[in-house]
Amino acid sequence: MRTRQARLASAYVTTVRLNASDSGSVETDALVVGINTSPDGLRPASGAEAVNSALTGGLAATLGALGFSGHAGEIAKIPTFGAVPAPLVVAVGLGDAPEEAGAYDLEVLRRAAGVATRSLAGTARAALSLPATTAEQAEAVALGALLGAYDFTKYRTVGEVKAPVAEIVVLSGASGAEATVSRAATLAESVALVRDLVNTPPSDLAPARFAEIAEENGTKAGLSVEVLDEVALKEGGYGGIVGVGQGSVNPPRLVRLGYTHPEAGTTLAFVGKGITFDSGGLSLKPSASMAWMKSDMGGAGAVFGALLAIAKLGLRVNAVGYLCLAENMPSGTAQRPSDVLTTYAGKTVEVLDTDAEGRLVLADGIARAGEDDPDLIVDVATLTGGQIVALGWRTCGVMSSDDDLRDEVVEVAVAQGEAAWGMPLPEELRKGLDSPIADIANLNPERSGSMLAAGLFLREFVPEGVRWAHVDIAGPAFNKEAPHGYTPKGGTGMLTRTLIALAERYQAGREA
C-alpha cells in the first residue's frame, strides 16, 4: 500500500505502511510481537508464530527466564543473534488470551502497540506482528503504534533527544486493512496536532495565534473558516467570550470551521472551550492549579482536530466546529466577581467567580451553533475540577438532557478507547444557579455537584429542539503522570477520535 505519513511533534514525521510478510522474514530494526498469559503459562499471540519457531527454546521459555509475566503493557527486549532478520524482538504483554481465538479487544492492541513504539524511540524502523487478522485489528495496531510514537521535543535543547520511530510496518494480510491503516494515519495526524497545541506554552499560543493555525490548516483541508476578532465579537454581542478575554493583552477570538458533503443528511455541531491559559482571572487560582492550565484549550483542540480529520476522510455528513478562544487573566480591565454580562443568546449572567469562565465562552459558542440548524450539538471542555474529583484523571463525564444521546456518546467514546462515563443533570441543582439580579449565575456557590451544575448551566443556552451533549475532559485532556499505553505525558488529544467516530456514525446512508 502507499505509505501514509502521520504528522508528529516538532520536525518528526512517522510513516506507516502495511506488509503481508510473516514475522520471521521481514527486514526491520525491531520486531514487536505479543505474548498472552494462560493457565499453562506464557503463550505467543497470533503473529508471533514464526519468531517463536526461530528462537532456540521458543519465546515462552526465553521470556520466562527473564521473569516476564505477560501482563498487559509489559515489555521485554530480546536480541535474536540472526535467528530472524530483525536483530531485536520486542515482546509486549497482552494479558489473558481471549476466550475466542483471535477475538482481541481493540484497545488492548492499541495500548500494546503504543507501549512498544514508545520504547523504541531512536529506532529507524519497527515492524509490528501483533494480532491483526482483521482490518479492525490492523487499524488498532497502526493507530496505537503511531500515537505511542508521539513525542513533543520542540523546546528541548539540552540532553539527548531520541527521535520517534521513523517508520512503522504493520504485518497483516487482512482484507480491507489498507483502508483501515490509512484511516489510522489520518486519526493519528489529527490527535498529534491536538497534542502539539495542548503542549505548546501559552506564550506561543495566544487566541489570535490559535486562530491563525486553525485558519491555515482548515483552509488546506478544504474547510470554510470564519474568524471573529475582539471588535467583531463585541459588535456581535458575544458577551461571554468578550468578558472572559477582556483582562488579557491577548484578545479573544471565535473561529467557525465548516465542512459540507453533497450527500450529507445530518449536520453536527461541535463546540470547544479554548482558554489558551487560565489564571482564574481575578478569582486567582493557587499556583499549583495554574501550572498546567495551558491545557485549558483541550476542548477546542479536539474540535479542531476532529474537523480536519472529517474533511480528510470525506465523511458524508455536514459538520461545523466552533473554537471559543480567550485567555483568562487578571488585570485592571478584567471582569470582576458580581459583574453581569449579556451572552450571544441574550441571556444575562451574573459572574460570581471569574474562574468559572469556560462555561461563559461555551454559552456563546453553543448559542451561535444553533444558527447552523444542527441535528446535534456536542460541546467539549476542560470545564471543572469536579470532573476530576468524581471520575479521576482518565475518565471524562458525559451529560445530556437526552439520555439516549448521553449513552450513545459514552458508547462511541469507549469503543475508541477514550474512557467516558454517563452523568446525570439533577434538576435540584439548578436552583443553585439562580441569581437575584440576572437570568442565571455562572456557578453554584456551594460547589457541590460542580461538574453537574456546570452542565445545567450550559443546558440553558442550547437552542430549543436541538439534541445536545456536554463532555467534561478536565482531567483526561492532560496527563500529568508517567506515559501509559499510547498516552504520553502532557497533552493527550482526548475526545478527538470520539468526535470523528460520531461523525462516521451519522454519515448519510448509515443508520444513526
Report the CATH number at residue 342: 3.40.630.10
Domain presence at residue 395: yes
> Which cell numbers in the block locate residue 180?
483501515
> Could you give the 3-state DSSP secondary structure of residue 349?
strand
List, in sequence order, every residue forming a beta bridge with 471; answer none if it has no partner: 380, 398
Query: How high is the pLDDT of residue 14?
Result: 85
In terms of domains, do 154 and 232 share one?
no
Cell numbers 492550565 label which residue?
Answer: 293
Write the pLDDT tens digit of every residue in 290-310: 999 999 999 999 999 999 999
Domain presence at residue 417: yes
In terms of domains, do 152 and 247 share one?
no
State the burial class of residue 57 (Cβ atoms within 10 Å of its Cβ: 0-12, 13-18, 19+). Answer: exposed
Q: Which domain holds residue 140?
A: 4-174
Q: Which of 139, 174, 209 is where one domain is finished?
A: 174
In terms of domains, do 136 and 245 share one?
no
Domain presence at residue 191: no
In terms of domains, do 149 and 262 share one?
no
Q: Which of 156, 174, 192 is where one domain is finished?
A: 174
In terms of domains, do 456 and 412 share one?
yes
User: Nearest to residue 341, comparing CAs of 256, 247, 257?
Assistant: 247
In terms of domains, do 137 and 213 share one?
no
Instruction: Cite the beta strand spans of 8-79 per DSSP E.
Output: 13-19, 30-38, 41-44, 75-79
In terms of domains, do 205 and 170 share one?
no
Single-letter amino acid code for the residue at 81: F
- 162 is annotated as an active-site residue: no
The CA distance from 379 to 314, in Å, is 22
Residue 337: which residues within 8 A CB-CB, separation 6 or more?
Answer: 282, 283, 351, 352, 353, 354
Annotated binding site for Mn(2+): 273, 278, 296, 355, 357
Q: Cβ distance 68 to 54 under 8 Å?
A: no
Domain presence at residue 188: no
> Which cell numbers in the block locate residue 408?
450513545
In terms of domains, do 157 and 300 share one?
no
In terms of domains, do 375 and 492 share one?
yes
With vertex at residue 196, the alpha carbon angle to CA 387 and CA 388, rounded to the nearest 5 degrees, is 10
Write the pLDDT tens digit of every residue in 205-248: 999 999 999 999 999 999 999 999 999 999 999 999 999 999 99
Tell me which of 154, 234, 285, 347 is the catalytic residue: 285
| 392 HSE (CA, 13 A, CB side) | 6
- 359 is annotated as an active-site residue: yes
Tell me which of 17, 43, 253, 359 is the catalytic residue: 359
In terms of domains, do 108 and 204 share one?
no
Annotated binding site: 273, 278, 296, 355, 357
In terms of domains, do 165 and 285 share one?
no
> Which cell numbers in the block locate residue 42?
506464557
Query: How high is the pLDDT of residue 512?
Result: 43
Query: How high is the pLDDT of residue 371?
Result: 98
Backbone angles phi, psi at 224, to 5 degrees: -80, 140
Tell me which residues of the chain have a pLDDT lower than 50.
1-2, 6-11, 511-512
In terms of domains, do 306 and 165 share one?
no
C-alpha distances in Å from residue 267, one per residue of 146, 271, 287, 510, 511: 30, 13, 42, 14, 15
With vertex at residue 275, the alpha carbon angle to CA 331 and CA 149, rounded to the nearest 5 degrees, is 135
Query: How high is the pLDDT of residue 4?
Result: 54
> In total, how many domains does the chain have?
2
Strand 376-381 and strand 125-129: the pairing is: unpaired
